[in-house]
Amino acid sequence: MRKVFLVVERDVRLFFQYKAMVIMRAIWFVSQIAFFGLIASRMVVIADYFRYYVGGLATMTLYSAAVFIGFDIYEEAEHGVFEYLLSLPVTRRELVLGRSIGGGLRAFIYVGALICISLYVIGVANPLNFILALFSLFLFAFGVSGMSITLAVAIKSSDRFDILMGVLDALMVRLSTAMYPLNIVKEANPFYGWIANFNPLTYASDLFRWGAGVEAVLTFENPLLPLLGIVLFFAFFTFVGIVLYDKRIEGGGWQ
C-alpha cells in the first residue's frame, strides 16, 4: 500500500502545481454562484433554486476536477513520463489504483474549499447526513477519476479523448439533476429523464443536496439508492478499470 500512497501523493502534488488552472477554476466556480446562480434563480420558478443550483455546481466541479487525471495521462505520454512511471518498481495495479485514488482525492481536496463556499451559501441542516453525503462524493470522485483513466488508456489519442470528454461532460451534466430537478427533465423528454435516473452525477448531486438539507426537489426519496448507484459506479471504474488498464498498458500496449 505504501507505493499506492506515493502514487497518490505524486498526483495530488502535481495537480496543485498547475496553479493557474486551480485559480481559474475557483474563479469560474465563484462566478457561477455569484452571477449565473443568483441571476438565473430569479427566472426559475422552482422553489429555492439558488441553493439547488449551488449544490449541483459543487458536484459538477468535482466531476470536472476528477476528470482531469485523464488529461494528465496524455500530458505524461507526450513528455514521456508514462514510460518513466511504467519503469518504476511499482506494480501496474498499484500504479492505477494510486492514480485513481490520487485523481479523486485531489479533486476532492480542491473542491473541498469550494464545497465550503457552497455550504456557506446553502447551510447544513443535518451534520450526520452531510458526512454521509461527503463520503459518497468521495467515492464519486474516485469513480470519475477511474473512468477518466480507463477512457484515456483505451482511446490512445489525446484529440479523441479531448472531444469525447467534452461530449461526455455535456451529456453527464445536461442529462442529470445537477442543474434541474428530475421531474422537469422528464417533462421535457421522458427518455432524458430515464437517462438522468442512471446518471452518477444525478446521484452525487442529490446526495449532496440531501446532506446539505436542500430537500425541496430531491430525485430519490431514499438516499440509499443514489448511494448504492455511486458505490457501483466507483467499484466498476476503480476495480474493473484496474484490470482493463493493467491489460492495456503492460508491456507497452498503450503505445
Element housing 204 (H / E)? helix 200-212
> Of 236-255, which residues contact other proteins (CB under 8 A)?
250-253, 255
> Grid coordinates in use for 250?
503492460
Asked whether position 13 contacts other proteins by CB under 8 A, the answer is yes
CA distance 190 to 171: 15
Query: What is the nearest approach in angstroms of other proteins to the Cβ of residue 68?
Result: 13
Number of chain residues interacting with other proteins (CB under 8 A): 26
Binding segment for other proteins among 13-21, 33-41, 113-121, 197-205 (CB under 8 A)?
A: 13-21
Query: What is the nearest approach in angstroms of other proteins to the Cβ of residue 74?
Result: 12
b/e per residue, 181-209, with b = 16+ CB within 10 A? bbebbeeeeeebbebbbebbbbbbbbbbb
Asked whether position 168 contacts other proteins by CB under 8 A, the answer is no
Judged by CB under 8 A, which of 22, 26, 38, 81 binds other proteins? 81
Q: Is 189 left (phi over 0), alpha (psi -120 to 50) or beta?
A: beta
Binding segment for other proteins among 85-93, 109-117, 133-141, 237-245 (CB under 8 A)?
A: 85-93
CA distance 32 to 20: 18
CA distance 215 to 89: 49
22 versus 46: smaller Cβ distance to other proteins = 22
Binding site residues, other proteins, CB under 8 A: 3, 6, 9-10, 13-14, 17-18, 75-76, 79-81, 83-84, 86-91, 250-253, 255
